[in-house]
Amino acid sequence: MRTVDDLLHVGVAGRRVLVRCDLNVPLTRPAAAGEQPEVADDGRIRASLPVLVKLLGQGARVIVAAHLGRPKGEPDPRYSLRPVADRLAALLGTPVEFALDTVGTSARLLADGLQDGQLLLLENVRFNAGETSKDETERVQFAEALALLTGGGDEGGAYVDDAFGAVHRAHASVYNVARLLPHYGGDLVSREVDVLRRLTGEAGEVERPYVVVLGGSKVSDKLAVIEALLPKVDRLLVGGGMCFTFLKAQGYEVGESLLEDDQVETCRRLLTTAGTKIVLPTDIVVSADISDDAATEVVAAEAIPAGQKGLDIGPDSVSLFSEVLAGASTVFWNGPMGVFEVRPFAAGTWGVAEAVTSASGLTVVGGGDSAAAVRALGIDEERFGHISTGGGASLEYLEGKTLPGLAVLEES
């Protein structure tokens, strides 16, 4: 895979470069009608800055394509990238042009008017039905229109994919456009691939002990990655809402906690196969409701009362998980340990995050809710070896799936 540094070596001054970024960030809810929302968590925007700064600094005319949320293939003001443009401009310290459409009149005029070292952000690419269409012809047509914003390959146009969080989708701005322009992987993509290859053993023997921490709501969301990693890891620590299906598989009652009944037998099989590899919580923080002033109680994992919800792992579980993590040389953490957004149920996630930072070797935070938790809880991101921007893409890579956006970048 050619990298953005390879493109810079060739030279980008005066050239229009289409950069696919991952700017799918949460927005605030406006306090009053007519007010514009603001970016609530700019982690993904900040992660995109290095490649943009590199290109702008060498005189490229940068056109950024990105998506936000899941609009239905047509403009929806709730998912406009306008607030992202404002935040990007503030972080870059330079004006950012913003197109009112994806490949329409506004985008074409602004792209044609770009000068060296200027940046244009297109409106949400998912406002165009061609971005996610199941019809290959429709996707290609949208990709061709995106490519034309650069003038095309014959006019010096180029494509850089720096949105690892989208490479598991064969969308127009991720897959099809890369087949139309000279294409390169951005720094985020290159770094993600390097780290994930270390976690899968593709880059050589994984340093041991190798510990994976999984949380989040559903076992079904993580089942494939559990199946793929179990043979490779020394310990698999399970928290979050998904732990209750495992506890049920052990024969325990879980009250009103999250439970996937259709996955109980699967969890029972995994526990039998894994032996001592899978480590479950020993105590749980329970409550009847989820609020900042909720009445909570810590109970044994096998003694969750009827009518109560398990909403976080307890202090003994944090100590157990921390003890396992203390001796780890490789750590991958994906998914919070509880409802960390609500104060009474944040301690488990915070404790595990602190334990991950204390591991001596490679520590990887698997993006998505885990990365959001790190920022929300005020933990210094520099204390982790790598914070992924991949989310679902990272999990699919670890499962051994082919990611279309990566595969196309590897084409000559």
CA–CA separation, 375 and 382 (whole Å): 11
Q: Is 317 assigned a ligand-binding role in the annotation? A: no
Give yes or no: 44 in active site: yes
Dihedral class, residue 14 (left if φ above 0, else alpha if ψ from -120 to 50, else beta)? left
Q: Is 341 annotated as a binding residue?
A: yes
Q: What is the rounded distance in angstroms from the CA atom of residue 279 to the CA atom of residue 281?
A: 7
Asked if residue 367 belongs to a known ligand binding site, the reply is: yes
Closest CA to 114 of 42, 61, 185: 61
Specify whether 235 is catalytic. Answer: no
**Residue 248 annotated as catalytic:** no
Would the annotation count 128 as a binding residue? no
Tell me the one-letter amino acid at 304: I
Backbone angles phi, psi at 61, to 5 degrees: -105, 100
- Which positions ≥6 away from 409 have C-beta within 8 Å? 1, 2, 161, 178, 183, 184, 185, 189
- The upper half-sphere exposure of residue 106, i.e. CA atoms within 13 Å in the direction of its Cβ, equals 10
SS3 251: coil
Considering the candidates 15, 16, 20, 44, report the single residue annotated as catalytic: 44
Q: With the C-alpha atoms ordered 143, 145, 150, 153, is the resulting torsion angle positive or negative?
A: positive
Judge if the upstream peptide bond of residue 209 is cis by omega within 30 degrees of 0.
yes
Per DSSP, 30 falls in state P
Is 368 annotated for ligand binding? yes
- Residues 195 and 386: their CA atoms lie apart, in Å, by 8
Max Cα–Cα distance, the chain, nearest Å: 68
For 93: left if phi > 0, alpha if psi spans -120 to 50, otherwise beta; the answer is left
* 223 belongs to an annotated ligand binding site: no
Consult the annotation and say whether 348 binds a ligand: no
The answer to the question of whether 104 is labelled as a binding residue is no
Q: Annotated catalytic residue: which of 156, 338, 348, 368?
A: 368
Tell whether 151 is in a known binding site.
Answer: no
74 is in an annotated binding site: no
3-state secondary structure of 3: strand
82, 218, 232, 277: the catalytic one is 218
**Binding residue per annotation — 268?**
no
Which tokens hold the place of 382? 């520099």
Q: Does the annotation list 307 as a binding residue?
A: no
- The answer to whether 57 is annotated as binding is no
Residue 80 near residue 124, CB atoms below 8 Å: yes
- CA-to-CA distance for 213 and 229, rounded, in angstroms? 11
310 assigned to a ligand binding site:
yes
215 is catalytic: no
- 70 belongs to an annotated ligand binding site: yes
Catalytic residues: 44, 218, 368, 392
Residues of the binding site for ATP? 222, 310, 341, 367-370
Residues of the binding site? 22-24, 44, 67-70, 126, 169, 222, 310, 341, 367-370
Residues of the binding site for substrate? 22-24, 44, 67-70, 126, 169
